[in-house]
Chains A and B, each alone.
Chain A
Amino acid sequence: MTLLRRRPATGSVPGRGGGPVAAEVKWAWLFLAPTLIGLAILSAGPILATLGISLTEWDLLRAPEWVGLDNFGALVGDGRFLVALRNTTFYTVVSVPLGMVLALGLALALNQGLRGISWIRTSYFLPVVTSATAVGLVWAWIYAPSGGILNQVLVFLGLPPQKWISDPFWAMPSIILMSTWQGLGTSVIIFLAGLQGIPQEYHDAASVDGAGRWARLRNVTLPLLTPSIFFTGILSLIGAFQIFDQVYVLARPGKPTDATVTLVYFIYENGFKNFKMGYAAAASWILFLIVAVLTWVYFRSQRRWVHYQ
């Protein structure tokens, strides 16, 4: 959790200037060598490289050709890109609040100190460790138009069956349902850790002052849980913009219809199926900018609603 706080002493140097420790400074670079290489060539450096490549037209066969901002101009006019942007936004706007509200309710319920619930807890956590590919197979089967459990239930209830993943209207909600099922446990665990960090005295003091259950939740628990809510929010937000595996697995065979193509799928499709490296890099940069701006705005908002104890 410290990760997202501003204050912790990331830069503070243990004040022991001189002496044996100072002699160890040259060792630091030895310990850091692999990490520095990784930063330069695999993570931080490539952000700039992506920008450079995005200004070229490059199919990997011929030399890259400088095209300036043409790729960005083309993206703005590319229907599939705009659809990908809209789908990813829809996915994020629905799945992030949905997942957080469900997880918050669940964490509050699981935190009531009921006995014999450890197995229930486990059943909420288990999907988190599974791969979207493997569980995507069973979700594809759940959503299967013929024989799938969802349609069988609908027919049993006298409702019309749906085509789910291949239906433009239901495709994205189907993906959202699966992702929510899979990701719920992560947020629940963070909320539970946050709840267990709230000192019992605060609840006791509020009770003594006559606060009822609801008032305690509103005025004690939720404010003190805002760091966890903030933390879960940022993770869900960044994660939502990266949605790919579910789309790839559920929408196979064949390309995802326009209803489920997402930003990352668009990048994958252009970069690694069509080998339009410049175009894919430009889309990557837009993804990066969106995530960076959202993260920045979100961090700025923290002052207004997040309370640290």
Chain B
Amino acid sequence: MTAPTLAAPAARSRRPLRVRALRVSRRGLLYAVLIAGGLLMMVPFFWMIVTSLKTRAEVFGSSPLSLPSGAHFENYANMWNAFPQGVTFGTFFGNSLKLALLCTAGQLVTSSMAAYAFAVIPFRGRGPLFGILLATLIIPVQVVLVPNFVLYRSLPHPFSASGNWIGTQEPLWVGAWLGGAFGTFLLRQFFLAIPRELADAARVDGANPWQIFTRIYVPLARPALATLAIFTFMWTWNDLLSPLIYLSALDQYTTTVGLAFFKGQFIGKWPEMMAGGLVSLLPMIILFVVAQKYFVRGIALSGLKG
């Protein structure tokens, strides 16, 4: 213990210049590697933008590094109007937006309610119930696809061609109003950190649990609610499998199913495809730029992504 401690300053004083030079070059190397890696990560996005502005002839004729001869925004218009039956890409966009907002609202309301019960109310069986809820986090959603499909197929629907929920958008958002393990876990952690004295004081003033929940806990948990909102929005916006299974009519498609359909129909129309991909990415990219802090916090806390 003593020997290295004594030796260290001596060694350090003997070679300050070399150490400094070494550190500068290591730093430079680190910068170079990180920047090169960062640019490499961006290559798909660059290429998406560049291709979306090229003509078809340019896409196949010229080198991939060449820039478009002009900004061919007609690719975007062609993509937008490439669908039959009066459907445009805007229809898909609207559907995705509607579903993402409905799911986000549902998760915020029902997860925060459950989180309040788990964090604040000492009811019997709380521990085991929370354990069961957490265990569902590791169940891949694909495992319950078949029973969920069967369930929605047995529910009557007044406006659907099949008479049940298959072929409607309902299966894609109603479940979000029935709680969620991720949101409940996230918000419970947050609620546990809120001093109990606040609730006690409100109780003395005659507030019931609903009032304590809506007036004290929900306003204080705004950062956690923002994180949950952003993640739910992202998951719904990016989801492919569920819309693929439940939707059948073109005018109900979400952007993901619309893009997959587009790729199957318009083979080789790369500029239009890139335009469609970019338009569908836009809301997520904007959300990410505006709320990067919440994304990072949410992932660091839970690690959950799409």
Contact = CB atoms under 8 A, between A and B. Distances in A.
A142 B51 CA distance: 11
A137 B274 contact: yes
Given A31-B113, A241-B140, A141 B47 contact: yes
A130 B41 contact: no
B110 interface: yes
A117 B36 CA distance: 12
A210 B8 contact: yes
Given A10-B130, A125-B292, A284-B145, A131 B139 contact: no
Interface in B252-306: 255-256, 259-260, 263-264, 267, 270, 273-274, 276-278, 280-281, 284-285, 287-288, 292, 295-296, 299-306
A39 to B, nearest CB: 7
Interface in A247-289: 248-249, 252-253, 264, 267-268, 271-272, 277, 280-281, 284-285, 287-288
Contact of A183 (B134, B245, B305): B305
A28 B60 CA distance: 63
A60 B179 CA distance: 29
Interface residues of A, number: 113
A132 B301 CA distance: 23
A164 to B, nearest CB: 14
B35 A120 contact: yes
A271 B277 contact: no
Given A114-B30, A210-B4, A244 B117 contact: no
B94 interface: no
B56 to A, nearest CB: 10
Contact of A141 (B5, B30, B196, B273): B273
Nearest to A264: B142
A192 interface: yes
B33 A109 contact: yes
Interface in A162-218: 181, 183-186, 189-190, 192-193, 207-210
A190 B303 contact: yes
Nearest to A49: B147
A28 B123 contact: yes
27 contacts: A20-B203, A25-B124, A35-B113, A35-B180, A37-B179, A41-B151, A49-B147, A50-B144, A130-B281, A133-B240, A133-B259, A134-B259, A137-B276, A138-B277, A141-B47, A141-B51, A144-B270, A210-B5, A235-B303, A241-B140, A252-B260, A253-B263, A264-B241, A268-B241, A268-B245, A272-B244, A288-B143
Given A35-B133, A245-B240, A272-B245, 20 more contacts: A14-B122, A27-B209, A31-B117, A36-B179, A112-B27, A126-B42, A133-B240, A134-B259, A134-B281, A137-B273, A137-B274, A185-B299, A207-B8, A210-B8, A245-B241, A252-B264, A284-B142, A287-B142, A288-B139, A292-B138
Interface of B: 1, 4-5, 7-8, 27, 30-31, 33-35, 37-39, 41-42, 44-45, 47-48, 51, 59-60, 63-64, 110-111, 113-114, 116-117, 121-124, 126-151, 153, 175, 177-181, 184-185, 189, 196, 203, 208-210, 213, 234, 237-238, 240-241, 244-245, 255-256, 259-260, 263-264, 267, 270, 273-274, 276-278, 280-281, 284-285, 287-288, 292, 295-296, 299-306
